[in-house]
Chain A
C-alpha cells in the first residue's frame, strides 16, 4: 500500500519522522530519495530525535557513513550519492544486520544492493516549503509500520 503525504514546512516533515518513535525495530532499513534540498537530512534529524539521539545530525555527504551509537537503537546515516552506484569495499551491506536502524540517502543509485524488505520514501519538491512524501513499504513488517504511523 503506497501512501502519499504533503508537508508544508520543515517542521511537518520532522513531525512525520518522529511518528516512527515506537515503531522502530533492529535492522530497520529506510531509503530516502529526492533532489538536493528536498528534505532527506531534515527527515533523518526528526527520526534521530525520536530515537533519543542527542547529537546533532549533520550531512553525511562527505564521509558517506555517520554512526550515532548513543540512542535507543544505533543509527547509521548514509549518503551514497558520491559512490555513483559502486559500493564495493565500502561495507554498506554489513550495516543491514548490525542491530541498528539504517537510513540511506540517494538509495536509488544502489538499488540492487538493498535488502528486499525495507521502506522507501520518495521526496518531491512542490515549492519552497512544500514537499510530497511517498511511502513505499516492501514486506509485511514495513506495511504494518506505515499503517501505524501514517
Chain B
C-alpha cells in the first residue's frame, strides 16, 4: 500500500504547531511554538494576544516543518487541521492557513476535533487497540470517552462545570502560585502531606465529574484558616487537593474499565502529565490487568502531530470538507 503523508496544523489555544505524520503512526517532523512565557504575565491565556501571536508564527512554523521533514507541499496527501473546540480567534488562524494551503495545492482538507487529536496522540507511541477507554484531561476538558473501534467515539461522561486543569489553575490562584499553576501544585503535592479535609466531588455512580465545588471548598478552607490567624501550609493543601482529584478520577476510570470491558486504556491532554494522576491510573490498569499507554509529555500537551495522526484516520474514512467549514469554539466529539 502507498504511504500516506498528512500535514497537521493546530492552533486552538496558545501553541502554534505544524507536523507531518506518515500512515497515522510515524512522526516525521513537528514544530511547536508555545506562547506560555507571554501568557505567564497575565495569569492565563489571553485570546487577543494568542491570535496575534498565531498570525505571526503560523507561516514560519509550516515552512520550518516542511524543511525538517525534507518534504514539499506537493508530496503531502492531505491537510488536517483543528476546527474546534478552542479559542475562536486562535482556531481561525490555523484553519485559514489550512484552507489556503488546501486551495492553492489542491489537497483534501480534513477538519479534526481537538479531543480526537489528543486521543490519537497515543497512536504515535503504540498502536491503539479496542475496546478502548480514554481519559482526556486538560485546561479546557475533562472527558471519559469509550471507543469500540477507530473514530467511533462515545462520551461516557464529562465535567458538569470546571475542567480539571482549570480547577488546578484556580486553586493555584487562591494560594498565590503563578500561571500555569497545575504543574506547580503537582510538584508541591509530592512535597506535602494530605492533612486538610476536602470533600470527594460528585462521588456518585455516573461517569461525570464536578470540580467547581472542590474549588469552592479550597477557597473556604483557605479563608477559614486565614480568619483563625493560621498560616496555610501550601504543600499540604496541594497534597490534600491532589489526593481528592486523583481519587475521584481513579474511581470513575476503574468503574468504566470494569463495566465496559475495556482492553486498552489511554490518557491524553495537558493534565495527563500530572504525576499523581498517572501513578494512580497505572495502578488501576495493572490491578485490572489491562494494557495502557500514557504518551510522553510532548504528546500530552497541544501539538500538531496528534492532529495529523487523527487526520490520517479521518482521511482514510473519507471525512473531507470543503473550504467553507467554520471554526467552532465548542463542539461535541462524534
Contacts and interface: CB of A to CB of B under 8 A. Distances in A.
A69 B112 CA distance: 22
Contacts of A37: 212, 215-216, 219-220
Contact of B212 (A35, A59, A66, A91): A59
B159 to A, nearest CB: 6
Of B44, B47, B52, B159, which is in contact with the most chain A CB atoms at under 10 Å from its CB? Answer: B47
A83 B48 contact: yes
A61 interface: yes
Interface string A95-125: 0000000000000000000000000000000
Contact of B170 (A36, A87, A88, A91): A36
A23 to B, nearest CB: 25
Query: A-side binding surface: helix, strand, loop or mixed?
Result: loop
Contacts of A91: 88-89
Interface string A35-50: 1110001100000000
A85 to B, nearest CB: 11
B85 interface: yes
B330 interface: yes
A37 B210 CA distance: 13
A132 B182 CA distance: 31
Contacts of B86: 63
Nearest to B160: A56
Nearest to A35: B219
B47 A66 contact: no
A8 interface: no
Contacts of A88: 48
Interface in B255-275: none
Contacts, number: 78
B6 interface: no
Nearest to B223: A125
B160 A64 contact: no
B44 A89 contact: no
Q: Give the size category of A's interface with B.
A: 20 to 34
B140 A36 contact: no
Contacts of B87: 63-64
A127 to B, nearest CB: 8
B212 A41 contact: yes
Contacts of B173: 36
A82 B85 contact: no
A86 interface: yes
B166 A62 contact: yes
Contact of A128 (B46, B140, B158, B220): B220
Interface string B144-167: 000000000000001111110010
B162 A82 contact: no
Interface string A12-45: 0000000000000000000000011100011000
Interface in B111-152: 139-140
Of A63, A65, A84, which is in contact with the most chain B CB atoms at under 10 Å from its CB? Answer: A63
A91 B161 CA distance: 24
Interface in B282-334: 329-330
A61 B166 contact: yes
A86 B45 CA distance: 12
A64 B50 CA distance: 13
Given A82-B44, A90-B47, A62 B140 contact: yes
18 contacts: A36-B173, A36-B215, A36-B216, A41-B212, A58-B160, A58-B161, A58-B162, A59-B162, A59-B166, A63-B87, A63-B330, A66-B330, A67-B330, A82-B43, A82-B46, A89-B52, A91-B88, A91-B89
